[in-house]
Structure 1
Amino acid sequence: MGHNGLTTYMMIAALNEKGYNAFALSVPSAGELVSIIGLAAPVFITMTSKVAFYSLLIYFATSMGTITVAAHQVMLQTFSMCTVWGEPLSQTAQSFMPELIYGQKRSLEKAKTLLKSLVIIGAILGVTLGSVGTFIPWCFPRIFTSDHDVIREMHTVLIPYFMALSVTPPTHSLEGTLLAGRDLKFISASMSGCLAWGALLLMLVSSKGFGLMGCWFALSGFQWARFFIALRRLISPNSFLNSDCKLEKLRAA
């Protein structure tokens, strides 16, 4: 809480130094409210879909017994710790992409180069995090628990754990670029679709008795689906990164 207060104070001070009155309050107009909702609603749906899927994952793991849910909590916490490392890639895309896509120094070629660099860095980071994140529970499980049954259950999910973790950083790069390009309707719709199919897959693996390993393969599928959907969107001819190509075709016609 103190950290949030300090961050807020620093942001207010920075705005005041740039000539803005951070304490000025005004009632937004109807048009401004529509603009805010248009930006916030898709992001809200995207974040809610992620949280909902992870909540469903915990729900199905909880129904499998105390040993299973204990192993799941250990692996999920380490997974969450590792995925944080990919967030700066998304933030980098959201910080630098808008200027290259819509700014005065607009250059889609530079935007594509930046995206390529972020994806490559994300892939390297993903493999590194996946390897380290898998190695620790595999070789040093007693850091988390001394229960042999829990350790055995943890080891059953190492393969889908690695698969899900390794693709997360490059996915952050792609989704950050979509957010920077304001392709908000697509990313919210795709995330909602991933949630729906992920929930169905979780129900299927749970009903068929695949256990915790099935749940983690569902998580892996959820992550890889996000990656391929975002990648396909960005490399498609209708992508905002290829808008120059469309203009050239129209001029040629």
Structure 2
Amino acid sequence: MWLWNCWCRLGYYGFTAFMMMQNLNSRGFRAFSFTIPSTRELLQIFEIAAPVFVTMTSKVAFYALLTYSATSMGAITLAGHQVMVNILCMCTVWGEPLSQTAQSFMPEMIYGANRNLMKARMLLKSLVVIGAIAGLTVGTAGTIVPWLFPRLFTNDQMVVQQMHKVLIPYFTALFVTPSVHSLEGALLAGRDLRYLSQSMGACFCVGTFLLLLVRDKFSSLTLCWWVLVFFQWSRFGSALQRLVSPTGMLYNENFNQPEQVKVKAT
């Protein structure tokens, strides 16, 4: 199943990339031409890609470790966990458009010729509010289905009991996820990549320590899911603290400006 999901994602992203390149090609860009990048271009790509890679890897690794912890608790517990984590993954994609919106519109407000940090703050506020509403809606719907209709996924009553044990932490983690996406999208838009990767790495390390502690000392699936809640809300808190800071990108006119000038010069 995991391998099949990887192949499906690869096919989806490949098709999406092809369609985007085809659209650029129809507009006069040479999207299908390939050139060897220079050392400076490679360095610039690395400066952007490395922190994003650390961020994405930390998230994937934490979810993998969460499943690994459930594996050590027996087949019944693992089955209940797999059902809930798959539903969680299906519901979390609803927050991705908020991240994409922030990455599309905020760079011009932060670094553009007509930069306006007030508008950037207003946009972020709107995205967080929409994220909270989306989190409440999706979280409620995503919790009601396994709560009232668990037989859509399994007929085993013991597996259903394991699913119901994690409903509260499941909802708590899912509720904040769209807002997390909007905040992290704003950090990506403002090129605050070092902080994003460092905060994600710190959340991953602390979450991993707590997850291993819970698994070894208590062997409780419910506590493991509460560690997931800690991981999600820690990401929310660290990103929000950075964005509302007086020295952050949305309040400091000189934030990251020398680096931006260097990019423009190249």
Relative to the length of structure 2, the TM-score reads: 0.89
Q: 1:203-222: per-residue Cα shift (whole Å, max 9, x none)?
A: 11112215110110000110
Relative to 1, partners in 2 of residues 1:2 and 1:69: Cα closer, same or farther, differing over 3 Å? Answer: closer
Q: Given the alignment, which residue of 35, 41, 45 partners 1:36? A: 45
Distance in 2 separating the partners of 1:57 and 1:233 = 27
Relative to 1, partners in 2 of residues 1:4 and 1:164: Cα closer, same or farther, differing over 3 Å? Answer: closer
Gaps of 5+ in 2: 1-9, 256-266
Moved segments of 4+, more than 2 Å: 1-10
**Deviating more after overlay: 12-21 vs 104-113:** 12-21
Which residue of structure 2 lines up, in the alignment, with residue 174 of structure 1? 183
Q: 1:163-207: per-residue Cα shift (whole Å, max 9, x none)?
A: 100000000000000000000000001111111000001011112
Alpha-carbon RMSD:
1.5
Give 1:237 deviation, angstroms.
Answer: 1.2
Which residue of structure 1 lines up, in the alignment, with residue 258 of structure 2? none
Which residue of structure 2 lines up, in the alignment, with residue 186 of structure 1? 195
Gaps of 5+ in 1: 247-253
**Aligned pairs (5 A) from 1:35-114:** 35-114=44-123
Which amino acid in the other structure matches residue 157 of structure 1?
V
Q: 1:104-132: per-residue Cα shift (whole Å, max 9, x none)?
A: 22110000000000000000111111111
Q: Given the alignment, which residue of 241, 247, 252 partners 1:243? A: 252
Q: 1:20-61: per-residue Cα shift (whole Å, max 9, x none)?
A: 212222211111111000000000000000010001001000
Confirm whether residue 134 of structure 1 aligns to residue 134 of structure 2.
no
Question: Equivalent pairs: percent with the same residue?
Answer: 59
Distance in 1 separating the partners of 2:234 and 2:125 = 19
Check whether the contact 2:187–2:239 (CA below 8 A) recurs between aligned residues.
yes
DSSP 3-state at the match of 1:243:
coil
Q: Given the alignment, which residue of 183, 201, 205 partners 1:196? A: 205
Which amino acid in the other structure matches residue 196 of structure 2?
I
Distance in 1 separating the partners of 2:108 and 2:147 = 44
Number of aligned residue pairs? 246
